[in-house]
Amino acid sequence: AFWRSLQNTSKLREYRDALLTGRGDSVAVANDIIAAKKITAPEVRRNVQECTRGIATVARLLDEVTVLQKSPFTSANAEHEKMLETLWDLLRPGIVRSGGRVTSEWGEIGFQGKDPATDFRGGGLLGLHQLLYFAEQRNERARDMLTDGRIREVAKYPWSCCGINVTAEMVRMLEKRSCALRLYTARTAEDAMRVFNDIYCDVFEYFHEAYALAEPTDVMGFPPKFKESIAQAEEALAKAGRVPIVPAPAASDGPDTKKRN
């Protein structure tokens, strides 16, 4: 509600712009709004201060995310290559690629080309960072998704490439502020990035469950289910700040859906 007021009230837009561009300290902007609106109630004053802090945090996060997304993966960069190899080791522990650096074996963790560098063009370093975050923080789940027996072989989707697509959707949601509700609780830039990455993992898992439960007969079932799942997850994030554990039931199904605590 506070964000909508900043968006729609002409007298408050200058404060919104100050928060979004980083020109104004969130505490100073909050005090200016309190003075301009002549707010005296202590609870309301605290709410304004918390809201401006949250909006400024999300704005800084978007700046950081945008830089990562626009930064290309470069094979000549040793750090980039190290991150990529770490991703392989986490998802295929103990397995050494016989084909070396450029090989179709990358398909085993869901890349489409022989050189994963070509798959990162849409998500930049952010795509790699988020894949790596998932593989590190939810390693067992990531490996289960790669080998999920509920999905027949001809219908399996490329896990890593799908994750890069989820990254693109997360950036779009962040720009729209549709995933911001949970981010407003972050106290630092580092904490905001962690929460953002956790939401990414939740959305990725949500899609996977939706896809597995749909029992697709081939990979052509991927695009519509991905689009539908992202829309459902975004709606849930905007309303409640969390993603359901399992996909929402179809209209003919029962009304109860288990939610993430």
- In angstroms, rounded to a whole number, what is the distance separating the alpha carbons of residues 203 and 197? 10
How many of the other CB atoms lie within 10 Å of CB of 66?
15
Buried b (16+ CB within 10 A) or exposed e, 173-194: bbeebebbbbbbebeeeeebbe
Q: Which DSSP letter does residue 97 get? A: P
Q: How many CB atoms lie within 10 A of CB 96?
A: 9
Between the CA of residue 199 and those of 96, 110, 134, 241, what are the distances in Å?
31, 21, 10, 9
Q: How far apart are CA 173 and CA 234, in angstroms?
A: 7
CA distance 78 to 60: 28
Checking if the pLDDT of 250 tops 60, the result is no
Please say whether the beta carbons of 214 and 203 come within 8 A: no
- With b for 16 or more beta-carbon neighbours within 10 A and e for fewer, the 71-92 pattern comes to bebeeeeeebeebbeebbebbb
- pLDDT score at 123: 86
The pLDDT of residue 248 is 62
The terminus-to-terminus CA distance of the chain in angstroms comes to 24
Predicted confidence band at 235 (pLDDT cuts at 50, 70, 90)?
very high
Q: What angle do CA 136, 200, 143 make, to 5 degrees?
A: 40
- 57 band by pLDDT with thresholds 50, 70 and 90: confident
Q: Residue 249: enclosing H or E segment and its boundaries?
A: none
Percentage of the chain surpassing pLDDT 70?
Answer: 79
CB neighbours of residue 36 within 10 Å: 12
pTM of the complete model: 0.84
The tens digit of pLDDT for each residue in 11-41 reads 556 666 666 565 557 666 666 666 666 777 7
For all residues of the chain together, what is the average pLDDT?
86
Structure tokens that stand for 158 in this block: 């490329």
- Compute the average pLDDT of residues 213-241: 96
Q: What is the pLDDT of residues 103-125, one digit of tens each?
A: 999 999 999 999 999 999 878 99
Examine the pLDDT at 1 and tell me if it is beyond 60.
no
Instruction: Compute the distance between CA of residue 214 and CA of residue 115 in angstroms, rounded to an integer.
Output: 31
CA dist., res. 128 & res. 124, Å (int):
7
